[in-house]
Amino acid sequence: MRPSFRHIAADRIEVRQGGGCLALFGLPFFGAGVFMLLSALGVVSMSNDGNAAERLALPFMGVLFTAVGGVLCCGRAWTVVDGTRREVITQWGLLVPMHADRRMVDDYTAVVVEFVRGDSDTADKFPVSLKAKAGKNLQLCSSTEYGDSRTCATAVAELLRFDFEDATTDHPVRLSVGQAAMPLQQRLQMEGPRIGPSERPADARSDVSRDRDSVRITIPIARTHPAWIVITLIPIVFVAWFVGPLSQFFGRSRTPDPIAWVFLGFLTLFFGVLPAMTVINGLLRERRRATIVTVSTSGIRVQERGAWRSGPVKTLAAAEILDIDFSTSASLATSARQAAEQQARSSWSGSKSRSREIGPGTERLVAALSQLVKSGGIIVKTKNGLTTFGQGLADDEVRYLHSVVRRALTGDQAV
């Protein structure tokens, strides 16, 4: 869902949420509720009136469906950020505002964009909030698109003269309002080289080479485990051992040749040919499949090379690249621990009898689970979204590639 974000005045920003797809989703509920109410009142006749219990439940179901559909179709939320009065006005209503809540922004320090991972029923979200000095943040809006949330957060930070914080990945970045909309390349050139080239790990799987005015990184896929090949070969061995005796059995039992051929062909195809093709394709994928990343001062190009053909090239212009972060198994554990501690502080802000830190048992559990989690790779943040590559690499290699990409973007091609 994309919030409607606009400047309604020089010192005010309005964010509207509701309507759109939600209204279309609520139309069937609203129509069904109206039909049930009309049927309960006798305005619309039904072919089967049902028993007394069904007729009694019909009005209640009609009211419920009409209320849910009406809220989805007509429900709206307006959030107005006033830079002059230094307040945030949140309004709710049906088509027009009906209730309002006002909060001053003196208790907040920055505008933060976060990431909330979705599940099978919900999409990933990027909520925009005012970061509180203590307690719970004040959410302004939420979008499923990173670019929309970042644009909204940058505008609010500029209006309120707050810092901007990007907490969508493992390493939050806090920028001044003047740097929030600035491309990463420009910021790096202004800051200068803060770190030298990192050392290439001895067990690195990727290949990094210099190609004229760019750096080319080839990241192969993870190697196939030998156990997977052994398991896949089991049906082939079974077919090789079973087809001969089975064909002799068909001959002795005088089974018609067409039936015997169809049965043996089916057995050979599904338990012999297909597993063999799976093994061959897996070996070819291991040898050829890779992610090819080309980094230069003009931007980043990412291409997936498959076993049989290469995919399209995704080009990220340098002017659109806002930041480049990395995610390792260690940083994932640290980020999860910090999120848990922040949640604990927010939940227990009014209680002095409870500890606000994570206990040693939970700390050990997080450390153990981090050993099982694979790295998230390199994350490139642009105005159009997030692009990730290098997932599953070792932590040292992810950090090494992160430094290589950032240096190459500024013209430093040391590898």
Summarize pLDDT for 160-199 with one digit per residue, the tens: 999 999 999 989 999 998 888 889 999 888 876 555 556 8
Question: Residue 2 pLDDT more than 60?
Answer: no
**In this structure, which amino acid lies at residue 98?**
M
Tell me the sheet residues that pair with 303: 292, 313
CA distances from 126 to 3, 122, 225, 286 (A): 11, 13, 37, 35
CA distances from 22 to 74, 224, 353 (A): 9, 45, 43
Tell me the sheet residues that pair with 80: 14, 89
How far apart are alpha carbons 106 and 133 in whole angstroms?
A: 9
Q: In what order do the strands lie in the sheet with 377-382?
A: 321-327, 377-382, 385-389
Determine how β-strand 290-296 pairs with β-strand 299-305: antiparallel
Tell me the sheet residues that pair with 321: 382
**Can you tell me the mean pLDDT for 357-379?**
67
Radius of gyration, alpha carbons of the chain: 30
**Can you tell me the mean pLDDT for 276-283?**
76
Residue bearing the bigger pLDDT, 226 or 394: 394
What's the pLDDT score for residue 109? 92
pLDDT averaged over the chain?
Answer: 79
DSSP character string of 182-234: S-HHHHHHHH---S-PPPPPTT--SEEEEETTEEEEEEEPPPPPHHHHHHHHH
How far apart are alpha carbons 229 and 206 in whole angstroms?
A: 24
**Can you tell me the mean pLDDT for 124-136?**
89
pLDDT in tens, 313-365: 999 999 999 999 999 888 777 766 666 566 555 555 444 444 455 556 655 66
Determine how β-strand 108-114 pairs with β-strand 163-167: parallel
Report which listed range, 30-34, 74-78, 175-179, 290-294, is most confident: 290-294
What's the pLDDT score for residue 54? 65
CA distances from 104 to 6, 10, 15, 82, 85 (A): 21, 19, 17, 10, 8
Quick one: how far is CA 100 from the chain centroid?
A: 32
What's the pLDDT score for residue 353? 43
How far apart are alpha carbons 86 and 246 in whole angstroms?
A: 84
How far apart are alpha carbons 115 and 55 in whole angstroms?
A: 47
pLDDT in tens, 7-19: 888 889 988 776 5
pLDDT in tens, 140-162: 888 889 988 999 999 999 999 99
**248 falls in which pLDDT band (50, 70, 90)?**
confident
Predicted TM-score (pTM) of this structure: 0.71
